[in-house]
Structure 1
């Protein structure tokens, strides 16, 4: 196999994207259950975005469709990545404006919200800041967890678009000498 991931087949690129999503979700679970860093509702929504991306990556990689299908899978992954990126940016805003009364924290946990309110109201309340999302309990190289998830959303979404929209050697007409 070519060591350059930009030259890999669509299937290899998408299955690698799926593995990346699985690894990110596994790390989030490790942080939650081994390091005892409880996720806030915004963290949960970011996980949901990675789950959606992982599903689209796996299905696209296993299906290995022709050009139009590759584009559809790439767009689906990119949409999930964009939603996750928006949540990550909102989370970063909450973390870095902790003195603004309208932006503090995240509110009660997602399980409580889903038990206490209809789903539409629970989702609305989860996005309203009023709990512990403003707390920074983890950093790596100076970036908080939502900062790293934002980078991952951008890279994985961009990689999916690259894989889905790039011209492939097998799709090009044969050259005449």
Structure 2
């Protein structure tokens, strides 16, 4: 029973949705209970997990045929890849030498969305460097973006496995 690679597609995708929900719940716990404020890159990583959760949940609820399973798996993998790119960029910012002229991550995402067109706001959020470089949380020596990268890879690979394996 405890062989997740042998579970039916719907069970695997339900597990993926629950894993994404748990990761998001932990991020909100760190923000609202522990006071760890997210930077714009953190917000985009949360959006990627949310998109993955939606695709996982849709696949689990739908229970599609072979083609549908592959479509859902690819959608999850795309969201996972986007999140992984953001996490890698976040890690680069964290472990690059600090620029003394850049003393902040930039304005908050709400300000950017209110003040600029969406494309420019997203571009500015990705250009943030200051606070995004601060390391305020580690577990087993890895920062939060490193852990999110691990989860993106695991969940994306799991979705592809579930969607493309022979039944």
Whether the aligned pair in 1 keeps the contact of 2:80 and 2:156 (CA below 8 Å) is: yes
Say if 1:69 and 1:114 are closer, same or farther in 2 by CA, change over 3 A: same
Larger Rg: 1
State the SS of the aligned residue for 2:133: coil
Q: Which runs of 5 or more residues in structure 1 are unaligned?
A: 169-177
1:110 pairs with 2:114: no
Partner Cα separation in structure 1 for residue 104 and residue 143 of structure 2: 15
1:129 pairs with 2:128: yes
1:95-139 Cα shifts (integer Å, max 9, x gaps): 000325698763211111101111111000000023310000000
* 1:172 aligned partner: none
Partner Cα separation in structure 1 for residue 100 and residue 92 of structure 2: 13
Whether the aligned pair in 2 keeps the contact of 1:104 and 1:129 (CA below 8 Å) is: no
TM-score where L is the length of structure 1: 0.91
* 1:155 aligned partner: 154
Aligned length: 167
Larger displacement relative to structure 2 (34-43 or 99-108): 99-108
Measured after TM superposition, the shift of residue 31 of structure 1 is 0.1
Q: Which runs of 5 or more residues in structure 2 are unaligned?
A: none
Say if 1:121 and 1:9 are closer, same or farther in 2 by CA, change over 3 A: same
Say if 1:161 and 1:122 are closer, same or farther in 2 by CA, change over 3 A: same
Whether the aligned pair in 1 keeps the contact of 2:94 and 2:132 (CA below 8 Å) is: yes
Whether the aligned pair in 2 keeps the contact of 1:42 and 1:127 (CA below 8 Å) is: yes
Partner Cα separation in structure 2 for residue 21 and residue 9 of structure 1: 19
Alpha carbon RMSD of aligned pairs, Å?
Answer: 1.5
TM-score where L is the length of structure 2: 0.96
Of structures 1 and 2, the one with the larger relative CO (CA 8 A, separation 6+) is 2
